[in-house]
Every structure is written in structure tokens, then in C-alpha cells.
Amino acid sequence: MISLLGPPGSGKGTQAELIRKNLGFSKISIGDMLREVIKIKDEIGKKAKEYLEKGKLVPDYLVIEMIRKELENGKVERDIVFDGFPRNINQAISLDRFLSSRGGKVDLVLYFDTPLSLVASRLSQRRICPKCGALYNLESAQPSLQNICDDCGSTLVKREDDNEEIIKSRFQVYEEETAPVKDFYRKKDLLINIDGTNKKEEIFNEVKRYIEEGFHRENCN
Ligand code: AMP
């Protein structure tokens, strides 16, 4: 089980998708799952919307329940990549408990080290496909046809929480709640620092190397 950690816009979603496509992992993105339930407008969706609109974390019990259901759906823990989970210490502890109750564990945590000045400009240029979730950037990762998703042909949109006010709040939440998760995993010797300022292809080569080395080392032990 791999977890991707970093501030909003540090490239977690892009790398999670590359890991899924190229290395055969199952991707679990709480952000994507929440955006789906918000579309359905059921009770959970309505509740989640209030938090996403403010750039705050959705309450842990909701998120942990979503993860529990996904894992009990028969996904193989070892082959999962989490995009943006855990996002606070309580989630990290709950994940450890849940995995160990099933004989699993967190194998590797990749931290995308990216200055907030860079991620702020990336977020303002980010576009997302509302149908398949594919990610684009108007400067560095443009679609072939202007504003059209290469994968499914839908019209791209800007995420509602990629606006200046909400971004500020997401950064604050990151500094206060998510950044301490780095130390949690550093102490367990699971954290790898990756330079998130590089191009996505270069970052993926590094990510791939760490994943292959990490799992190879484990197989030899
Ligand atoms: P993301 O797509 O990862 O940028 O997440 C978008 C939003 O979904 C966040 O600002 C939070 O409101 C919510 N969210 C995503 N992951 C989590 C999580 N692990 N815990 C709580 N809320 C989350």
C-alpha cells in the first residue's frame, strides 16, 4: 500500500493516475470519491459539499468509512495507491489499525515536496474532466483539443475549490493537519521525499524507481 502526500497541487493526482495506468495499482482518491457523491446529492454528498466548498477536511468518520468499504470490496491492499489519504494523524492511525487487523501495512509514503508559491499557480491553471477525472494544466499539460478531454471528449472545467479563497483555506488545512503526517511516517522510516517541482515524466521515473526498489527489497527479505 502506497500513500501519496503533499500540498494541494503538488501532483499527487497526476502521479496516482500514472501509477495506476503504468504499474497496475488500484487508485483510491477520496477527493474523486467525494466529488462523485456530491453529484448524487444524497445525505453524504450534501454534507461533504459543505466541507469541500470551504476547503476543509471532511470529518474523519465519513472518510474512514469510505476507505473501509473500498478495502472490503476485495481490493488487494498491497496494490493500492492512495491519493491524498491519510490527511491527518487520526486518519493515519486509523489506517494503520485497519490494515494491521487484516495483516496488511503501509509499504511506502511518497511526499511531493513543492513550494506553495508553485502549487498556487498550478492550481489556478488546473482543469479537470468532470466525467472521467483526467487532469490537465493550461500551461504544462494541455489537452490536444482546446478544453476537451483527450480520454473521453468531455468539456473540461475548473474545480470549484480551485479558487483563490478556497485555495487559501486548503493550504492552511494542509499546514495544520496534513503536514504533521510527514513526521508520523518519517519516524516509521517509510517516507520518501520527492522533488515535486520537476516535470511530471521526470517525477514519475523517480516514483517508479522507488516503488520498484521498495517492493523488490521487501520481496528479498
Ligand atoms: P483533493 O481532490 O485531494 O484535492 O481533495 C479535495 C477535497 O476533498 C479536500 O479539500 C477535502 O475537503 C476533501 N478530502 C479529500 N481527501 C480527504 C481526506 N483524506 N480527509 C478529509 N477530507 C478529504
Cα of 137 vs centre of ligand 1, distance in Å, is: 20
What does the mean pLDDT of the chain come to? 93
Q: What's the rounded mean pLDDT across residues 70-91?
A: 87
The confidence score (pLDDT) of residue 42 equals 87
Q: Dihedral sign for Cα 187, 30, 67, 26, please.
A: negative
Probe ligand 1: pick from 87, 123, 135, max atoms within 8 Å of CB? 87
Spatial CA neighbour of 35 closest among 19, 2, 12, 58:
58
Q: Dihedral sign for Cα 46, 47, 49, 50, please.
A: positive
Instruction: Check whether 174 has a pLDDT greater than 90.
Output: yes
206-219 pLDDT, tens digit per residue, is 999 999 987 655 55
The confidence score (pLDDT) of residue 220 equals 53
The confidence score (pLDDT) of residue 221 equals 47
Atom of ligand 1 nearest to the CA of 166: 10
CB 179 within 8 A of CB 89: no
Instruction: Band the pLDDT of 44: cuts 50, 70, 90.
Output: confident
Q: Which three cell numbers stand for residue 97?
A: 489499525
9-41 pLDDT, tens digit per residue, is 999 999 999 999 999 999 999 999 999 999 998
The confidence score (pLDDT) of residue 11 equals 95
Atom of ligand 1 nearest to the CA of 51: 12
CB 207 within 8 A of CB 2: no
Instruction: Check whether 77 has a pLDDT greater than 80.
Output: no
Q: Which three cell numbers stand for residue 48?
A: 461533504
The confidence score (pLDDT) of residue 71 equals 85
Cα of 206 vs centre of ligand 1, distance in Å, is: 25
- Percent of all residues in the chain with a pLDDT value above 70, rounded to a whole number: 95
133-162 pLDDT, tens digit per residue, is 899 999 989 999 999 999 999 999 999 999
The confidence score (pLDDT) of residue 213 equals 86
Active site residues: 12, 87, 126, 159, 170
The confidence score (pLDDT) of residue 218 equals 56
What are the phi and psi torsion angles at 132 (to 5°)?
Answer: -110, -5
